[in-house]
Amino acid sequence: MAKWGMVIDLDTCTGCQACTTACAMENSRLPGENWQDVLFYHEGKYPNVQLKWLPRPCMHCENPSCVSVCPTRATYKDPEGGFVLIDWNRCIGCKYCQVACPYGVRFYTDEKAVVQPDIRTVFPSEEGRQWDPPWKGPQDDPRRGIGIQPHGVVSKCTFCYHKVSQAPTGVPDLDEDIPELKEYVPACVRVCAPKARFFGDLDHPESRVNKLIADHRGTRLKDETGNKPQVYYLSGGASAAVPSLRAVHQDKA
Amino acid sequence: MTTATMDNKGIQMPILLVAGIGFLITAGLVMFNLSSQGHAAFNTSNNGLFWGFPIVVYDFFLLTSTGIAMVACFGFLFTGETFRPLFARSLWLALAGLSGGVAVLMMELGYPLRAMFLIPFSFAFSSPLYWKVLAVIGFTVCLLLLIWRARATQSTLDSLRGLTRLTLLFAILVTALAGVVYGSQSFRPFWASGDIPAAFIVESVVGGLAFVYFFTLLAYGFQANRVPESIRTVFAGRMGGVFAWAIVLHLVFVVGRTVNGLYGNVEGLQAWQYIVSSPLYWIELAALMTALVIMFSHALRCNILIQVAAAVLVMVGLFIGRYEYIIGGQIIPLFKGSWAPPVLSYAPSFTEWLLLVMAIFLANVVNSLGGVLGITRGR
């Protein structure tokens, strides 16, 4: 049984947002409601300011707090692959999972549009979905939170379950450079131009993701929460593995 | 019916009419806004502020309801027939508060009807919300049974003791679990603490006492000469003392959390800097302190109108406190950057304010209906 995981090399990532765009196209996301995003932030004050960025998909944690708090078992850990998914037919939109997620990667999109004009009014859906984009993909699996997000429920990155779950059994890595496997590679990994993302089986001893984590001291975001993410970051010191989280008082900012 | 239990029916009908009309108007406006805009009518967002004003209102009403029930049950169990004139009214008031809170929650959830049948049968044992919903169901059933049993003319303290204890247990359980919902979020240090359930129970009792004072006296038109002697004695006597000490305990939690929060350097505790720099926080403290002075002074607390003022001050103080707690736990975003500022700004939308007004009207409809139907008179 695979335990799919991702490795993101922060020294290689250029912050181009191709992953964000690919994810949005693949999963018919509303503008600004990005399951996968690259967060930009700065540290320090002039003249010692650094611009940094952090790619942030759902961590598909081994011990996900979002799953623990869900009162209807709508969000669950898939035993075959280790995906954290949402059953939209069971979600009640209480947003407790959003509150409980330390990574801020869950989305309730019934609220005010992040990007104006509100594209939901341009492409309105008549099937209870948030919108009806003209370029939507064919995949639709509400029981796994795949497809166009319905009203009143929370959504999140699925690690492109609809692609990854179709991969041949036993493969250690899903690499876009291997022609017979490229269709199973998550969208964000497949389009990464500088090849900063790697996707593979964390339980497979021969997988490249395991070697990268071991050889380059892969770290997990907010590991102190105990959620045990299945996304690892590599950083040789040139970029921060984790952004500075210390809030700055507005008066001092 | 004795003089002591006699109700002022005259005032309940106008309240029922005004509250009924108010409820219909506000509920209609809320429904219209929600059906035309969806939850875009709220000012919550995916930037980090997921639970906004509707949850504040819901929690306030729920904890008020359990607090009133705790006051009623404690009062009846520990003072027996002395508390009898207030028992039925308090139980019904608890039900009224619960109805206001649940109505707001139904407006906030994405799928309220689905929630009603999915949560109880999901067996999501790891979720505090699952246990909380089960406890609320148990609390509601016990409350209804107790109201029904307490109305029976032959009911005595002995015959009601078991059910009263069970209702009290469920009221404490609901309140504590409401605390666990927040207190268990270990990576949100503003919320996370093992003492939150205890703090919620104390806060709930304080709110319960304030509401019992206010609505009992409202039933007599805030006119001292109409309030039965037995109620005046209870309010000015031991209950006043309990009210004062409950406020002290609540203030210990509020000030203690504030001081700890201001000392703390952990990410998320910076929210305290914003809270104490807001006039709301000082209004909350001033309101609670004033109520405390009033209730500690025997001379002052004998006056009906001053009792009402103290109750109102506590209600306002507790509501501000609830707002600060729920919003404060979310205003420091977990990830800051170009898309999220160091501190999120949030102010309730018009529809969110309407939900508060709607809940107040609905609770008053239910409460005054009890007066009109004679349910709050008890025996």
Q: What is the CATH number of the domain that holds A213?
A: 3.30.70.20
Q: How confident is the model at residue B50 (pLDDT cuts 50, 70, 90)?
A: very high
List alpha helices for B264-278, DSSP H: 271-276
DSSP 8-state class, residue A81: B
Most B CBs within 10 Å, among A73, A77, A121, to test the B interface: A73
Count of beta carbons in the 10 Å neighbourhood of residue A41: 19
pLDDT grade, residue B5 (50/70/90)? very low
- Which residues does chain A have within 8 Å of residue B39's beta carbon, measured at their own beta carbons? 108, 110-111
Rounded distance between C-alpha atoms, residue B296 and residue B111, angstroms: 46
Instruction: Name every residue whose Cβ is closer than 8 Å to that of residue A116 and which is 6 or more positions away in sequence.
Output: none
d(CA B141, CA B164): 12
Cβ neighbors of B72 (< 8 A, separation 6 or more) are B83, B86, B87, B90, B91, B94, B208, B212
Angle subtended by helix axes B304-328 and B238-263, to nearest 10: 30
Q: How far apart are the first and last CA of chain A?
A: 49
Residue B122 half-sphere exposure, CB side, CA atoms within 13 Å? Answer: 31
Q: How far apart are the first and last CA of chain B?
A: 7
Distance from CA of A46 to the nearest CA of B (A): 17
Q: How confident is the model at residue B379 (pLDDT cuts 50, 70, 90)?
A: low
Q: What is the pLDDT confidence band of residue B35, given thresholds at 50, 70 and 90?
A: very high
Q: How many domains does chain A have?
A: 1
The DSSP symbol for A6 reads: E
A77 touches chain B (CB under 8 A): no
Cα separation, B108 vs B56, whole angstroms = 11
Cα separation, B325 vs B345, whole angstroms:
15
By mean pLDDT, which of A138-147, A237-246, B60-69, B206-215 is the weakest? A237-246
Q: By residue range, what is the domain housing residue A71?
A: 4-234
pLDDT grade, residue A237 (50/70/90)? Answer: low
Q: Are B7 and B218 in contact (CB under 8 A)?
A: no
CATH topology for the B9-377 domain: Formate dehydrogenase/DMSO reductase fold (1.20.1630)
Distance, in Å, from the CA atom of B22 to the CA atom of B14, rounded to the nearest integer, reads 12
From chain A, pick out residues whose CB is under 8 angstroms from the CB of B181.
Answer: 96
Task: Give the 3-state secondary structure of residue A231.
Answer: strand
Contacts of A151 in chain B (CB under 8 A): 38, 110
Of A41, A92, A249, the CB nearest to B338: A41
Contact A110, B39 (CB under 8 A): yes
pLDDT at position B155: 74
Tokens encoding B4: 């002591």
Window 42-61 of B, Cβ < 8 Å to A: 42-46, 48, 50-51
The answer to whether position A239 is within a domain reads no
Q: Are B295 and B247 in contact (CB under 8 A)?
A: yes
What order of strands is seen across the sheet that includes strand A197-201?
A197-201, A4-9, A231-234
Q: Does B137 touch chain A (CB under 8 A)?
A: no
Whose CA is closest to A92, among B106, B184, B138? B106
- For residue A241, being part of any structural domain is answered with no
Residue B282: pLDDT band with limits 50, 70, 90: very high
* pLDDT value at B4 more than 50: no
Q: Is the predicted pLDDT of residue B200 greater than 50, yes or no?
A: yes
Judge contact between A188 and A199, C-beta under 8 A: no
Backbone angles phi and psi of B90, in degrees to 5: -65, -40
pLDDT per position as a tens digit, B306-337: 999 999 999 999 999 999 999 999 998 887 76
Chain A residues 130-159 within an 8 A CB cutoff of chain B: 151-154
Q: Name which of B367, B340, B205 is nearest A247 in CA terms.
A: B340
Which of A101-110, A224-233, B54-63 tops mean pLDDT?
A: B54-63
Residues 6+ apart with CB under 8 A from B191: B182, B183, B185, B325, B329
Pair B178, B59: CB distance under 8 Å: yes
Domain ranges for chain B:
9-377
Per-residue pLDDT averaged across B244-254, rounded? 97
**A123 in a domain, yes or no?**
yes
Q: Is residue A14 part of a domain?
A: yes
If residue B248 lies in a helix (H) or strand (E), which one and from where to where?
A: helix B238-263
**Confidence band (pLDDT; 50, 70, 90) for A48?**
confident
Minimum Cα–Cα distance from A108: chain B residue: B46
The DSSP output letter for A107 is E
Whole-number Cα distances in Å, A76 to A63, A84, A201: 11, 6, 19
- The DSSP code sequence of B154-199 is T--HHHHHHHHHHHHHHHHHHHHHHHHHHHT-TT-TTT--TTHHHH
Contact A28, A133 (CB under 8 A): yes
Mean pLDDT across B178-204: 94
Share of chain A above pLDDT 70, in %: 93
Q: So what's the pLDDT on residue A250? A: 44
Q: Does B121 lie at the interface with A, CB-CB under 8 angstroms?
A: no
Residue B320 contacts residue B283 (beta carbons within 8 Å): yes
Q: Are A161 and A83 in contact (CB under 8 A)?
A: yes
Q: Which positions 189-248 of B are in contact with A (Cβ < 8 Å)? A: none
Residue A215 neighbours by CB under 8 Å, 6+ apart: none
- Domain presence at residue A214: yes
Name chain A contacts of B183, Cβ cutoff 8 Å.
none
